[in-house]
Structure 1
Amino acid sequence: MGMAQSARMPQSSQTTNQITGQRKWWALATVLLTMFFSSMDSTVVSTAMPTIIGDLKGLSLYAWVTAAYMMGSAVTIPIYGKLSDVFGRKPFYLIGLILFALGSAISGQAHTMMELVIARGFQGIGAGAMQSMPRATIGDIFSPKERSKWMGVMMATFGISSIIGPALGGWITDSFSWRWVFYINLPFAALAIIGVVATLPKVRSEQKVKVDWLGSVIMIVGLIPILLGFTWAGTKYAWGSPIELTMFIGGAIVLALFVLWERKAADPLLAPALFKNRIFSTSLILGVLVGMTMYGSLMFLPIYVQGVIGLSAQSSGWVMSPMMIGFIAGSMISGQIMSRTGRYKILAVFSGAVLAVGSLLLNQMNVHTTWTTVVINMVVLGLGIGSLMPLMNMAVQNAFPYKMMGTVNSTQQFVQSIGGVVALPIFGSILDKAFTNKLNATMPTSLGAFKHQLTAMNPQTLLTPQAQQALAKTFTKFGAAGHQMYLQLMDSVKVSLTFGIQHLFEVGLVFAILCFIGTFFLPEMKLKGQEYFKADGSTEDDI
């Protein structure tokens, strides 16, 4: 936008930073509150899942409770981001919070597993706004150089919620009911709604913008079969089955049409020009690689600790605390360094190296590894992940005009979410296959009758108290020798589980090494300071 045109623009159409003075600190508190309880939701629910499965009798739909939520948020993130650049963050914060609260209330009322899955999908649609808006709102409040510090605080908030969530979920489930792990979202949502109404400005753009609704529909139609394909692959259907191939190929064709449409759209949902920016494209690739490494550890380290190290199920809520403490420390340190220096390239390379070392340490673990060693390894990995995530956000925000803040942030978040949805079934399939093969090779011949029963079970659910109790009960018919047979069987499970998770960590190491190499290709642009915001409230990007 030229200077003359900027000068003629009425104050009411201003779409740059409008949150100043004391109000910005209340806005920041609202952002952190929203970030806290939306990220805490998934960890609280995961702790309650064994109880939910036992109550609703829905083991076959176990994975869908998480998958529906992730898909609902993933497909709506870019839509919220684009619209917020036009109409401001406020209305979409409110829409997201209301939908999330309604989804939470309906989830708490679910009486069948299918009802819960549908409610979680609805809840995920609201979460899409809550995942994309906070990063952009930080950009509304602070200059790029200041943002790095507060982006680190925001990532630390995510880490804290991940520590508190599992313990809170276990306490709520034991003390009240699993339904309250959903109801607890309601007061947080109410507080956040009050904060959004009171602190965020109402932005009205006088520019004529045509919302790319058709592009949004095409994108969703293309994404859903691919996401379903990855969700079902290796569990409900084989990877190369006709149904899987149909979903992957059909989705890819529709997404190819989406790309063609976006190139011609007057105001595209995902502007192809974004991907020509090296900072943006490199950050997206790094984000996917970090996400793959993170999901591989977050989802499967608890299985290793509980099934191999032997930590009790009651203590499993604290399993990931060391990694999250490392994550928090990495986020805070990374943010402070960027805020003080205005640079991020050397920090990115160093953080990538720490990530690779942490992943390598996980690969050294076996059945004899002590809990102390696991804690150290998790802290190192958490430091690498925590320092890289806010860095990539800042690099992207700094590389684009303010008016594109919502679009670039949501696109980055969208790609990372897709990476998570894709990573989980891939890692799960690796674990299932390696576990099954090793179990077939190591199980004593005297227990051959139980081989089919175990290999048919998902290793991720085999360690739930309900599954173990049911398995132990089958041995009671053998009398006094039954307990010894059960212990032999669980020893075989332990060895097989270790073997499977080691294979999984090897794949994670590949992602971590690729991420480290990728940091060398991340271009650096010095972070802008207070000069970014002009006296009239505009930014350098408007001039």
Structure 2
Amino acid sequence: MVVLPGLMLAMVLAMLDNMIVGTALPRIVGEFKDLAHFSWVVTAYVLGTTVSTPIWGKVGDLYGRKNIFLGSIVIFMIGSALCGMAGSELLGGPESGMVQLIAFRALQGLGAGGLMVNAMAIIGDLVPPRERGQYQGMMAGVMSLAMIAGPLVGGFITDHLDWRWAFYVNLPVGFAALALLAVKLKLPRHRTEHRIDWLGAALLSTGIIALVLITTWGGNEYAWGSPQILGLVGLAVVTLTLFVPVERRAAEPIMPLGLFRNRNFTLISLIGFLLGFAMFGAINFLPLFQQAVQGASATNSGLLLLPMMGAAMVVSLFVGRAITKTGKYKVYPVVGGVGMALGMWLLSLMGVATPAWQTGVFIAVLGLGMGFLMQTTMLIAQNSVEAKDLGVASSTATFFRSIGGSFGVSLFGAVFNNRLGDELTARFGPEGEKLASAGGQVTPEAMGQLPAAVRPGFLESLAVSISGVFWWAILFAVVVPLLAAFIKEIPLRGGPGESGRTGEAAEPAAPVPALD
């Protein structure tokens, strides 16, 4: 409890930033006049998080988590400051603003990868699994509060300040987390010989980046049969194929393949991938729908996300306490998967005539599903491995969720752009193509300035394109409860009268390090 506020502040950094930026994105796109690369602002961040997560987890296991955790906070803060400066006169003006913002978001994502995985691993170091549910439930509650506050703060900043403060606001929070953790966090030191699997990390990162570029550029920037896409396919196949034998021979593999011999760990990794794919990929488009189609201000679009975040927070706290009390967890990912799929289906029904209150009901259902899933997946992953592998297990589970988010954001971004171009062309003919690429002005003010003859058709095209994204998300969400049904319920370590896990791949429980 002494260090928990510092860990929460660090995690709030990553969660708050995502939600603030999501609300400010329509205004950013409008200033830089680049709707075609709208999704890349999110993709770059998630991609940076994805490729760095396994490295952060492994380095934390080897060298100790405290300094690694503090370092990730510093990198995140540097990335935040640079994002706020993107497109400023100091860095060359708005002409290259979107390119700069995408690059700095990738740097910010590198730091965010260390924030999420090491915070969870530190909790794993200090708290046995049976008690971990309520602590992770508390952290999930704070994360949900950040997700609630994020759109409100982002909306206020966008409406009343400059959008750049959506990034600068991270700096005081980051300094507070650094100061608290530097003084209060004391973890046991373990002297071991270290060897980082840099080759494995390079192969994995290259393969993942190639796959994300394929889903982003295929059929959009380049034809599917173009040399660029085929070259990326070849690069992904070669690097990921080489990754397997490299990991088998590595003394300290960046992602130990032996973890996947455990059925629960494999299932929960797949569930995390699908959760990230559907959730991060689709939710990214909610502020765009609310502001551009429904005409909400940035602040009001933040308020309209409250039902989702509030539902997720309440359910996360309930699930954490229930798991601590009963030691049972299998039912929660099943229920969460069903709730998430139902929420995505409801959101796919939205159109130009959908009132804001109805959208609120739909996203509340989605929030209920998220609340059952967010922390339960991490708890199951950590309970599936030995204590010495907590860091790499946490990073691997986070990695699969992040890579799902990377693919989801890039794929759904491509779906949105293609669908919008097709819809506008169908309604306006050749002029529709000009509308799709004429600057990306999708703010409420810009919508109000469209000619009266054009505005209804443009809004209808935008609504249909966004609802199409949620239709795609359903296909991935429905697989979550099907996979969760095959999870084997293994007793959580640290419960009353339990000295360790029983059942599949059981090992004696490791002693829990004390907080100095």
TM-score, scaled relative to structure 2 = 0.88
Which amino acid is the alignment partner of residue 85 of structure 2? Q
- Report the CA distance shift for 1:175/1:504 in structure 2 as closer, same or farther (over 3 A): closer
The CA RMSD measured in Å over matched residues stands at: 2.7
Alignment of 1:91-170 (within 5 A): 91-110=67-86, 111=88, 112-113=96-97, 114-170=99-155
Q: CA contact under 8 A between 1:153 and 1:335: conserved in structure 2?
A: yes
2:253 to 246, 259, 268: 268
For residues 33-432 of structure 1, the aligned pairs below 5 Å read 33-53=9-29, 62-110=38-86, 111=88, 112-113=96-97, 114-313=99-298, 315-432=300-417
Query: Which residue is equivalent to 1:439?
Result: 424
- In the other structure, the counterpart of 1:19 is none
Q: Distance in 1 between matches of 2:100 and 2:198?
A: 29
Unpaired runs of 5+ residues, structure 2, are 89-95, 501-507
Q: Alignment partner for residue 499 of structure 1, among 440, 447, 464?
A: 464
Larger helix percent: 1
TM superposition shift of 1:307: 4.2
Which stretch has the larger CA shift, 228-237 or 318-327?
228-237
- Runs (5+) with no aligned partner, structure 1: 1-24, 473-485
1:540 matched to 2:502? The reply is no
Would the alpha carbon gap of residues 47 and 389 (structure 1) be closer, same or farther in structure 2, given more than 3 Å must change? closer
Is 1:488 aligned to 2:419, yes or no?
Answer: no
Secondary structure of 1:201's counterpart equals: coil
1:461-498, CA deviations, whole angstroms, 9 ceiling, x for partnerless residues? Answer: 452246536x63xxxxxxxxxxxxx2332211233233
How far the C-alpha of 1:57 sits from its partner, in A, is: 6.0
Identity rate of aligned residues, in percent? Answer: 34
Aligned partner of 1:480 in structure 2 is none
- Given that 1:87 and 1:203 are in contact with CA atoms closer than 8 Å, whether structure 2 keeps it comes out as no
- After superposition, the Cα gap between the structure-2 partners of 1:41 and 1:212, relative to the gap in structure 1 and judged at 3 Å, is same
In structure 1, how many angstroms separate the alpha carbons of the residues matched to 2:306 and 2:223?
35
CA–CA separation in structure 2 for the residues paired with 1:457 and 1:416 = 35
CA distance in 2 between counterparts of 1:290 and 1:211 reads 29
CA distance in 1, matches of 2:181, 2:189: 16
User: Which string of whole-angstrom CA distances, capped at 9 and with x for unpartnered residues, describes residues 169-203 of structure 1?
Assistant: 23234444333322222221111111221222244
Structure 2 residue 500 is the aligned partner of structure 1 residue 514? no
Between stretches 28-37 and 360-369, larger displacement belongs to 360-369
- Of stretches 345-354 and 129-138 in structure 1, the one that deviates more from structure 2 is 345-354
TM-score, normalising length: structure 1: 0.84
Q: Say if 1:359 and 1:509, in contact at 8 Å, map to a contact too.
A: yes
Relative to 1, partners in 2 of residues 1:419 and 1:396: Cα closer, same or farther, differing over 3 Å?
A: same
1:371-400 residue CA offsets vs partner (Å, 9 max, x unmatched) = 322222211111011111211111111121
Q: Cα 1:239–1:39, aligned 2, differ >3 Å: closer, same or farther? A: farther
Q: 1:326 touches 1:378 (CA, 8 Å); kept in 2? A: no
Partner of 1:7: none
Alpha-carbon distance in structure 1 between the residues aligned to 2:476 and 2:452 = 36
Alpha carbons of structure 1 residues 513 and 261: separation in structure 2 relative to 1, 3 Å: same
Deviation, structure 1 residue 521:
0.9
Shift of 1:337: 1.4
Question: How many equivalent residue pairs?
Answer: 496
Q: Secondary structure at the match of 1:31?
A: helix
**CA, structure 1 residues 533+97, in 2 after alignment: closer, same or farther (shift >3 Å)?**
farther
Q: 1:506 to 1:109 in 2, by over 3 A?
A: closer
In structure 2, the partner of 1:11 is: none
Structure 1, 180-189 or 493-502: larger mean CA deviation: 493-502
